[in-house]
Amino acid sequence: MRNKLLRGIPASPGIVIAKAIPYKEEELLILTRKPDEISEEITKFENALQKTRREIQLIQSDFMKKTDEYHARILDAQLLVLDDTTLIKNTIDIIKRNESAESAFKKVADSILNAFDRVEDEYLRARISDIRDVAGRVLRNLIVQPHTLFPATKHAVVAQDLTPSDTAGFSKDRVVGFATDLGGTTSHTAIMARALEIPAVVGLNEVTKFVDRGDEIIIDGNRGVVVIDPDESTRRAYEDKLKKFQEYEKELEALSNLPCETLDGQSIELSCNIEITEEIDAAISHGAKGIGLMRTEFIYLKSDKLPTEEEQYEVYNLLAQKVHPDSLIIRTLDLGGDKIPSPHQIKEVNPSLGWRAIRFSLSEKSVFMTQLKAILRASRRGNVKIMFPMIVDLSELKLAKSYVEEAKSELKNSGIDYDPDIEIGAMIETPGAALIARAIAEEVDFLSIGSNDLIQYTLACDRTNPRVAHLFNPFHPAILRLIKRTIEAGHSARKWVGICGELGANPLAVPILLGLGIDELSVATVSILEIKKIIRALSIEEAKTIAREVMALETLEEVESFVKGIEEKVLVIKEVMSLSR
């Protein structure tokens, strides 16, 4: 299909033009057979688990040589699946009912995969590929069916989905990019693609429907675009983009060790947001000044049990050590009560407005105290900060702070070290919080604007709802006024103010935020160098002029028109947007 263009989710940056190899997981042929003695079937199953473990460990070892230990540890998740006591017990129970090992294991694995398929949470759904990968390997080892190998020639892989071990097995000399129907940015496959620096687009829905073996394909991992069988004009255009992008990457890399300051010498703290621990090495190599937002939800979602203090401490301590002496700002749990293992687990009609974040933590004190003590233990180097999400009232903030003091007392009584002066911050992510930001600022050491929720709650629109997503506009005058109000409130209380929502990574928003006086921008790793490039090309006076002009506008239409003009006025923004978006 000539020049067929598909849009998906950009999973790993870069552009590649290559011949496509469709990859289809071979169907496993599970023949009905009369089982051997029960003890023999159990032994077959246990041997298959052991063989699968050795395979994954070998892949992990090879992947470590290609990347680093940190990314190779992603495959630990698969090794944990092999140790799952429920999976093992249920399989053996079915074998004891006189079924073959492969038939019993397939029933159990299908049951688990079906359960995950019904989960709405994006992070949990992204773990499906790990379980499917392990299940496939165990079944192949039970029925002695070899895994499909990729060809030895240089090519781009097109697949419905790829497993983490498939991706870990890629050789950059052969697989130069991949495009998949399924997947998201937090899947282990996407993370591994970024670690290998292979351009990738996922979530294309139907790319496999249009690609035949040997078709030429363009994968644009910057924009989440795939072009199948490009015509000569499109091909030349992308060759030109590829050349410019490669030059642009070299230019950006040179910025990683330069200070993040404006033309007139004002320093801006530029840190990163991380979703999972595997992102930290890339953030550091891109020159992030610490972590401005560490989301802790993944620790709670990766198991059906609440994480222990020790388990949490290990994660926080590792990250604090990695970024020291820069800061690690840990946001306490920001999930709804419907997603947390709890005796009081409830289903809510509107969880975004319900029992979530600090509301959940304050009412589930033992869960909250466990997290606070783990954070405090990791703070002994003096670079950890605590941040509370969804604060809308001073009473919540004061109660949360009292729990921090209680956690300190417990640690002190146990003779455990912590930072007694640990800084505490509050997120401003509702209109209510923005309106009382001055009072909140008096109670904390810093404020951080969560722009995603602030927009959602202020404009009353769910950006994931396609019928109202167009209303989710970060440049709405109401949003800009609430941000201005929050920054002024923080500064009047002599506290620093940052932003950790996606607005901070929007090139068009950077001059406005600087002009309004923002002290810190915390953005996704992939945006760090671009945002630094923009900051270094602006002066504060220029940014203040832009902010003053935009704040004088009354309507969304006027602001949108003005913001479009920023791209033309500020050449560095035009350059960044043309090369990377």
Known catalytic residues?
Answer: 188, 500
CB 392 within 8 Å of CB 433:
yes
Give me the phi and psi of 20, to 5 degrees please.
Answer: -95, 140
Map tokens 């042929």 to a residue: 29
CB 133 within 8 Å of CB 165:
yes
Q: Give the residue among 201, 168, 196, 167 at the shortest CA–CA distance from 182.
A: 201
- In degrees, rounded to 5, the angle at the alpha carbon of residue 203 between the alpha carbons of residues 199 and 207 is 80
Distance CA 306, CA 201 (A): 33
Q: How many angstroms separate the first and last alpha carbons of the chain?
A: 25
Report CA 545 to chain centroid distance, whole Å: 34
> What's the number of CA atoms in the CB half-sphere (13 Å) around residue 434?
22
SS3 489: helix
CB 33 within 8 Å of CB 142:
no
Mind giving me the DSSP string for 180-212?
ESS--TTSHHHHHHHHHT--EEE--SSHHHH--
Helices (H), 118-159: 122-125, 128-143
CB 332 within 8 Å of CB 358:
yes
CB 192 within 8 Å of CB 167:
yes
Distance CA 481, CA 319 (A): 35
Cis before 325? omega within 30: yes
Give me the phi and psi of 536, to 5 degrees please.
Answer: -70, -15
Residue type, 257: N
